[in-house]
């Protein structure tokens, strides 16, 4: 009897679906919130972390501290070819990385580069978008395809942003996302469809 072929995705105990052809570096520093989908050719750089503070020799109980680099919320979908890496700053001549936090029910389109400090819940990020270092995107935001958000940008809740450089071009309406497919709405159906034959 021939061996059973392996699927394209690995499903974790918390329901995360991670493509076998994705690249996750420093997995001990990456937290996936549950039922998150990571598609093929996605690269998540959990190895880029802030160095832990020096251990106090006077405190024998001081052990290694958790050093989370990338946190991704529940029902978040990261499409093919996207790169997630924590933002960094030069501090006293040394590179200092800060955690990248992505909220729940967020969609990241194909080929995006994300270096944000924080992305809220129910956010839709269009294909080919570049989000610069230390960007903060609040909840219920739609980022149009091909946008470039400059470093340090803060996007208010309920905004539609687009352009190169990106700026606010409109507001999402009441109930946005729940009736427009997967754009910022309920990501459960998309999660269920991944890995199905």
Where does the pLDDT of residue 197 fall: very low under 50, low under 70, confident under 90, or very high at 90 and above?
Answer: very low
pTM above 0.95, yes or no: no
Return the DSSP state at 29. Answer: G
Q: What is the pLDDT of residue 32?
A: 95
Q: What is the pLDDT of residue 51?
A: 72
- H helices of 20-96, in order, are none
Where does the pLDDT of residue 30 fall: very low under 50, low under 70, confident under 90, or very high at 90 and above?
Answer: very high
Where does the pLDDT of residue 20 fall: very low under 50, low under 70, confident under 90, or very high at 90 and above?
Answer: very high
Q: Give percent helix, percent strand, percent coil of the chain, each to the nearest 5.
A: 5, 30, 65
Residue 127 has pLDDT above 80, yes or no: yes
- The whole-number average pLDDT for the span 70-76 is 95
Q: What is the pLDDT of residue 67?
A: 82
- Beta 107-108 vs 124-125: how paired, if at all? parallel
Helix (H) or strand (E) holding 189: helix 188-193
Give burial (CB, 10 Å; 0-12/13-18/19+) of 26: middle
* Per-residue tokens: 15: 């329901």
Mean pLDDT of the chain: 86
The answer to whether 125 and 95 are in contact (CB under 8 A) is no
Query: Which residue in this structure is represented by tokens 């699927």?
Result: 7
Q: What is the pLDDT of residue 116?
A: 97
């Amino acid at each position: 009897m021939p061996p059973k072929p392996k699927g394209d995705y690995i499903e974790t105990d918390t329901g995360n679906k991670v493509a076998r052809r994705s690249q996750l570096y420093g997995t001990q520093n990456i937290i996936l919130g549950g039922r998150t989908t990571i598609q093929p050719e996605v690269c998540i750089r959990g190895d880029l972390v802030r160095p832990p503070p020096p251990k106090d020799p006077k405190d024998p109980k001081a052990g290694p501290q958790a050093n989370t680099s990338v946190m991704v919320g529940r029902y978040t979908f990261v499409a093919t070819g996207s790169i997630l890496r924590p933002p960094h700053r030069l501090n006293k001549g040394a590179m200092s990385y800060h955690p990248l936090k992505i909220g729940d029910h967020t969609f990241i389109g194909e080929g995006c580069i994300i270096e944000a400090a924080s992305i809220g819940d129910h956010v839709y990020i269009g294909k080919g978008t570049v989000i610069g270092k230390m960007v903060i995107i609040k909840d219920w935001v739609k980022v149009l395809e091909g946008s470039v958000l400059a470093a340090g940008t803060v996007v208010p809740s309920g905004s539609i942003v687009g352009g190169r450089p990106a700026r606010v071009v409109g507001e999402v309406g009441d109930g946005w996302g729940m009736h427009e497919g997967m754009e910022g709405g309920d990501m459960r159906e998309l999660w269920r469809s991944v890995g199905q034959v």
